[in-house]
Amino acid sequence: MNKQATIAEVMGAGPVMPVIVIDRLESAVPLARALVDGGVCVLEVTLRTPVALAAIRAIAAAVPEAIVGAGTILNEQDLAAAQAAGARFGVSPGATPSLLRAVRAGGLPFLPGVMTPSDIVAALGEGFSAVKFFPAVPAGGVEMLKAFAGPFPQLRFCPTGGISAANARDFLALPNVDCIGGSWLAPKARVEAGDWAAITALAREAAMLRST
Ligand code: 3PG
C-alpha cells in the first residue's frame, strides 16, 4: 500500500486497529515492529503525549510495512501536524464542522468520531462514508450499531472504546462494522517493560479474530 490509502483500504487491512499511547519515543519503533510481526499493520498513534508526532515520524521511516495514522485529532492544528509527521490516516473522537471541512480540504483518509444520529448526519453531510463510533460500549455498543443500520445503511463503522478480546467478535459480526479499535493490543505495562513478544502475541490473536 505505497500510494495514498483510502479510508476503506485502511479499515479493510485487518479486523483491529490498535489505539496506541506512546510515552517514550524509544518505544515507538519496537512497538510498531511487534504489532506488525503479529500481523497488525494499521496503527493509530494517539496525539496524547508530547512525543506522539515524533513517534509517527519514526514509525513511518523505520517500519514501512506499517500504515501509521494519528488518533485524537481534535482540531485543524492537530490535523496539519499529523499530516506533516507522515500520518497516512487520521482518527478523531469527535466531529466538529470546522474539523470535518479541514479534513475534506486536506485529503487525509479520516475517521471522524460519532456517537449520535445528529453526529452521523453531520458527517454524511460533509461526504464521509465511514466513521469511528466512540465510545462504543458506553454509548450503546452492539445494539446501537444495529439501530444505526436502519437509517444509515450506507455508513461503515469502526467502533472503539470499551472493546477487548472478550467482546471483539460481537462487534466484528455486525454487517456495518469494517474493523474495531482498541487499546488492548498495546497495554501500558507491557510497553513500559519492553515485552514485545507479549504484544506480538496479542496482535496475532487480534489479526485472527475474523478467521477463528
Ligand atoms: C481511545 O481513544 O482511548 C480509544 O477509544 C480506546 O478505548 P479503549 O481503551 O477502551 O480501547
Q: In this structure, are residues 180 and 42 in contact, taking their beta carbons and an 8 Å threshold?
A: no
Q: In this structure, are residues 136 and 183 in contact, taking their beta carbons and an 8 Å threshold?
A: no
DSSP string, 57-83: HHHHHH-TT-EEEEE---SHHHHHHHH
CA distance 195 to 201: 10
The residue written with cell numbers 483518509 in the block is: 109
pTM over 0.75: yes
Cα(182) to centroid(ligand 1), Å: 5
Domain spans in the chain, listed from the N-terminal domain onward: 7-207
CATH 2.40.440.10 assigned to 7-207:
no
Verify whether ligand 1 is closer than 6 Å to residue 162 (CB atom). yes
For 101-151, what is each residue's pLDDT tens digit?
999 999 999 999 999 999 999 999 999 999 999 999 999 999 999 999 999
Verify whether ligand 1 is closer than 6 Å to residue 73 (CB atom). no
In sequence order, what are the beta bridge partners of 130?
156
Q: Which atom of ligand 1 is nearest to the CA of 162?
A: 10
For 35-68, what is each residue's pLDDT tens digit?
999 999 999 999 999 999 999 999 999 999 999 9
Q: In this structure, are residues 133 and 160 in contact, taking their beta carbons and an 8 Å threshold?
A: yes
* pLDDT bucket at 3, cuts 50 / 70 / 90: low
Nearest alpha carbon, ligand 1 atom 4: 161
Q: In this structure, are residues 49 and 72 in contact, taking their beta carbons and an 8 Å threshold?
A: no
For 164-200, what is each residue's pLDDT tens digit?
999 999 999 999 999 999 999 999 999 999 999 999 9
Verify whether ligand 1 is closer than 6 Å to residue 94 (CB atom). no
SS3 call for 51: coil
Nearest alpha carbon, ligand 1 atom 7: 161
Locate 58 and state its grid cell. Answer: 519514526
- The per-residue pLDDT of the chain, averaged, comes to 96
Among candidates 103, 104, 72, 108, which has minimal Cα distance to 89? Answer: 108
Say whether pLDDT at 1 is over 60: no
Q: Which amino acid is it at 185?
A: L
CA distance 177 to 11: 9
